[in-house]
């Protein structure tokens, strides 16, 4: 009988051993699963926020491997890198009482996650507050400038304006401890409300037409001045040419008279005949009737008497 009991005890030993080993591995696996499910990794460019019953107990901002208390603590992630926020398009009034639409954007980041969670609760709420502050500051700053100063690149002071807007927005965010910092605020686009566009286009066309008319008027004035100067120069040139021609003509006539006198002085009778014939060119035509005595020298010449 004792031999049978010993045999049963020997057969039960491996079973109990396997059961213990199984329990050991089960516990080990359970512990590993528990540890692994409560280990978290903080990466570069992110915050790991550890909460306990909803309250923030710590924030891990350095890359590494961390562990939380199981079943009690939870972990959420917030971005540590810079973010871009497209600010809602808004309408403002300029210093010269003109309405315009402003479209801008902001570069921002979370500087203090604990303050951001405590006062803004979520990233969406933080961006909403940032949007309100940016609109308020932009409206105030642009309200001090005339419309032309905002849209004209040559006269624009946007560089210093962006810096002032960024500084003021950060001051407002810091006062309310939202835990975020705006790196930069930039104006992307300035535009007119639709109802004002046509009137502005009409005014621009009128101004361009007025400028064109000024150019045309100036061109006409220059043309008339050039024509007047040219006419005056032509008259002066013609007057001088006529005077020179009169002098040359007088000199020529004088020279001709001198030649005639020298020629005719050599034969006065021929000269007398020449002058008589020349006078007939002017006094006799096809209707002229001449009555001459038969014994006149001219009649005798016509009749063929030479002496």
- Chain segment 78-136, per-residue pLDDT in tens: 888 888 888 888 778 878 777 778 888 889 999 888 888 888 888 888 888 988 898 88
Task: Answer whether 167's CB lies under 8 Å from 138's CB.
Answer: no
- Choose one of 164, 191, 218: the last residue of a domain: 191
If pLDDT is split at 50, 70 and 90, which confidence band does 5 have?
very low
What is the tens place of the pLDDT at every residue in 187-206?
Answer: 877 776 665 556 666 777 87
Q: Is residue 229 part of a domain?
A: no
Given this model, what pLDDT does residue 304 score?
A: 66
Note whether 104 and 142 are same-domain residues.
Answer: yes
Q: Is the model's pLDDT at 11 over the cut of 60?
A: no
Given this model, what pLDDT does residue 69 score?
A: 79
Residue 65 φ then ψ, to 5°? -105, 125
What is the tens place of the pLDDT at every residue in 237-266?
Answer: 988 888 888 888 888 888 877 777 777 677
Q: Is residue 124 part of a domain?
A: yes
Identify the domain containing residue 43 by its residue range: 20-78
Q: Is the model's pLDDT at 7 over the cut of 80?
A: no
pTM attached to this predicted model:
0.52
Note whether 49 and 110 are same-domain residues.
Answer: no
Q: Is residue 100 part of a domain?
A: yes
What is the tens place of the pLDDT at every residue in 156-173?
Answer: 555 577 888 888 999 998
Q: Mean pLDDT over all residues of the chain? A: 78
Q: Is the model's pLDDT at 221 over the cut of 80?
A: yes
Q: Based on the structure, what is the number of domains in the chain?
A: 3
Q: Is the model's pLDDT at 268 over the cut of 50?
A: yes
Note whether 108 and 127 are same-domain residues.
Answer: yes
Note whether 34 and 122 are same-domain residues.
Answer: no
Q: CA-to-CA distance for 267 and 260, rounded, in angstroms?
A: 11
CATH of the domain at 119: 3.30.479.30
Note whether 105 and 71 are same-domain residues.
Answer: no
Q: Is residue 127 part of a domain?
A: yes
Q: Is residue 111 part of a domain?
A: yes
| 3-class DSSP string for the chain | CHHHHHHHHHHHHHHHHHHHHHHHHHHHHHHHHHHHHCEEEECCCEEEEEEECCEEEEEECCCEEEECCCCCEEEEEEECCCEEEECCCEEEECCCCCEEEEEEEEEEEECCHHHHHHHHCCHHHHHHHHHHHHHHHHHHHHCCCCHHHHHCCCCCCHHHHHHHHHHHHHHHHHHCCCCEEEEEEEEEEEECCHHHHHHHHHHHHHHHHHHHHHHHHHHHHHHHHHHHHHHHHHHHHHHHHHHHHHHHHHHHHHHHHHHHHHHHCCCHHHHHHHHHHHHHHHHCCCCCCCCCCCCCHHHHHHCCCCC
Note whether 98 and 63 are same-domain residues.
Answer: no
Percent of the chain with pLDDT over 90: 2
For the chain, the straight-line distance linking the first and the last C-alpha, in angstroms and rounded, comes to 214
Task: Answer whether 151's CB lies under 8 Å from 204's CB.
Answer: no
Note whether 71 and 129 are same-domain residues.
Answer: no
Q: Is residue 27 part of a domain?
A: yes
Here the contacts of 26-35 (C-beta below 8 Å, separation 24 or greater) are 34/70, 35/67
Q: Is the model's pLDDT at 1 over the cut of 60?
A: no
Q: CA-to-CA distance for 237 and 251, rounded, in angstroms?
A: 21
Given this model, what pLDDT does residue 72 score?
A: 84
Token pair, residue 164, equals: 């002032």
Note whether 104 and 183 are same-domain residues.
Answer: yes
Given this model, what pLDDT does residue 23 score?
A: 72
Task: Answer whether 91's CB lies under 8 Å from 85's CB.
Answer: no
If pLDDT is split at 50, 70 and 90, which confidence band does 4 have?
very low
Q: Is residue 182 part of a domain?
A: yes
Give the CA distances from residue 242 to residues 235, 246, 251, 252, 256, in Å, rounded to whole numbers and listed in that order: 10, 6, 14, 15, 20
Q: Is residue 174 part of a domain?
A: yes
- Choose one of 142, 174, 191: the last residue of a domain: 191
Task: Answer whether 135's CB lies under 8 Å from 87's CB.
Answer: yes
Note whether 55 and 120 are same-domain residues.
Answer: no
Between these two residues, 235 and 307, which has the higher pLDDT value?
235
Q: Is the model's pLDDT at 9 over the cut of 60?
A: no
- Choose one of 59, 78, 97: the last residue of a domain: 78
Note whether 99 and 156 are same-domain residues.
Answer: yes
Note whether 105 and 27 are same-domain residues.
Answer: no
Note whether 29 and 125 are same-domain residues.
Answer: no
């Amino acid at each position: 009988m004792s031999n049978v009991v010993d045999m049963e005890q020997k057969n039960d030993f491996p079973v109990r051993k396997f059961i213990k080993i199984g329990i050991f591995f089960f516990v080990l696996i359970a512990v590993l699963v528990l540890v692994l499910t409560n280990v978290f990794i903080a990466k570069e460019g992110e915050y790991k926020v550890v909460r306990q019953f909803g309250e923030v107990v710590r924030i891990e901002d350095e890359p590494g491997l961390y562990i939380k208390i199981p079943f009690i603590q939870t972990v959420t992630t917030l971005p540590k890198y810079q973010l871009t926020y497209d600010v809602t398009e808004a309408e403002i009034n300029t210093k010269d009482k003109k309405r315009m639409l402003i479209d801008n954007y902001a570069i921002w980041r979370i500087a203090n996650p604990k303050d951001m969670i405590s006062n803004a609760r979520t990233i969406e709420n933080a961006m909403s507050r940032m949007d309100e502050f940016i609109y308020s500051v932009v409206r105030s700053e642009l309200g001090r400038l005339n419309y032309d100063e905002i849209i004209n690149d040559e006269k624009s002071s946007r560089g210093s304006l962006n810096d002032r807007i960024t500084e003021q927005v950060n001051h407002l965010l810091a006062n309310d401890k939202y835990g975020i910092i705006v790196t930069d605020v930039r104006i992307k686009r300035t535009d007119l409300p639709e109802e004002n566009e046509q009137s502005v286009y009409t005014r621009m066309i009128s101004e361009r037409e007025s400028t064109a008319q000024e150019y045309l008027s100036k061109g006409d004035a220059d043309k008339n001045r050039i024509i007047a100067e040219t006419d005056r120069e032509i008259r002066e040139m013609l007057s001088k040419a006529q005077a020179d021609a009169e002098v040359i003509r007088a000199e020529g006539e004088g020279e001709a008279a001198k030649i005639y006198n020298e020629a005719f002085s050599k034969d006065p009778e021929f000269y007398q005949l020449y002058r008589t014939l020349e006078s007939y060119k002017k006094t006799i035509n096809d209707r002229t009737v001449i009555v001459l005595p038969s014994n006149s020298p001219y009649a005798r010449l016509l009749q063929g008497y030479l002496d």
